[in-house]
Structure 1
Amino acid sequence: MNIKSILFIVLQLFLGGMMIYGSISKFETPFAETQEVVDKAQKYLDEDKEHISKLILYVSGMKQTGYFWLVLGLSELIFGLLVIWKKTSLIGGLFLLPITLNILLFHIFLEPDEIGELLMSVGLFLANTLVVAYRSKSLNFLLVK
């Protein structure tokens, strides 16, 4: 086993572990009432903290649907488990690409001042892209003659 293989196994474990960890928190937190969310967002708007208000409305909007936040958590859990196992890492990585892209864009546009979380989301997206690129090499014959 060479260094490259070990590096990609570590990337798979990092990506899968972070997705599983992130999914668990989506099942633990209770959903706030709609009026509480609106009042909290309005409070931040009154304090000229529009970016925090947008953040609250975005996440709470997904929770208020009653299902989307849970579907997102379940998707992160399943795809995170798929990424960890070598045989299904390509499928899990492909399905995780839009989720990690959304996480990255969320932190770029709604939390640009949180540098640590921004770097973590860049790392997640980069790890996801590298895992997909590495695992898809053996299937390139399907796309190129």
Structure 2
Amino acid sequence: MKALRIALIVLRIGLGGLFVYAGIQKFIPKPPRPQTEASVEVPPHVAKIKAYIGGLKQTDYFWPMLGVAEIVGGILLLSQFLALLGAVILVPVTLNIFLFHAFLEPHDTGELIMTALYLLGNLAVIAWYYPRLKPIFLNFKTIY
């Protein structure tokens, strides 16, 4: 049991640090890439990825909002008492990251496995704290 608690702490610190770092990266401007020749054919999956990420950035709100969600969720995962809230906040983020790689980069097995581990790690944190969540979803007395 003690080993599971230590593993959970390591998992929370790892995921929390990863998402804080990823969220901060969303606010750091990247230098523009040099234009390539128009005759170079872009693979179809790369064109879909560029269109997807480009669309998220062009809304002018979603990319920063995603960064804030990652930072807040990561900080909450790093905290002692609010890790469950951080894991719940990050479920849609980790699910979307996994599905992004599953549908747009299915040939990159390493990335797919890594993002599946992020999702499974996040779900493991929620499963550990499930007894705290159970009354929220299964307390029918508050409904009637």
Structure 2 segments unaligned to the other structure (5+ residues): none
Aligned position for 2:91: 97
CA distance in 2, matches of 1:25, 1:114: 22
Structure 1 segments unaligned to the other structure (5+ residues): 33-38
Letter in 1 for 2:28: E
Contact 1:31 1:64 in 2 (8 A): no
Spell out, residue by residue over 1:83-126, the C-alpha distance to the aligned partner (whole angstroms, 9 max, x if none): 11121011111111000000000000111122222121111000
Aligned position for 1:107: 101
Contact 1:31 1:63 in 2 (8 A): no
CA distance in 1, matches of 2:12, 2:102: 24
The TM-score with structure 1 as length reference comes to 0.83
Taking a change above 3 Å as real, the CA distance of residues 30 and 105 of structure 1, as seen in their structure-2 partners, is same
CA distance in 1, matches of 2:139, 2:64: 39
Residue 111 (structure 2) pairs with residue 133 (structure 1)? no
Helix, strand or coil at the partner of 2:122:
helix
Aligned position for 2:48: 54
Helix, strand or coil at the partner of 2:57:
helix
The TM-score with structure 2 as length reference comes to 0.84
CA distance in 2, matches of 1:31, 1:110: 24
Higher relative helix content:
1
CA RMSD across the alignment: 2.4
Q: Percent identity?
A: 39
Residue 12 (structure 2) pairs with residue 12 (structure 1)? yes
CA distance in 2, matches of 1:139, 1:49: 44
Helix, strand or coil at the partner of 1:28:
coil
Q: How many residues align?
A: 137
The match for 1:76 among 60, 64, 70 is 70
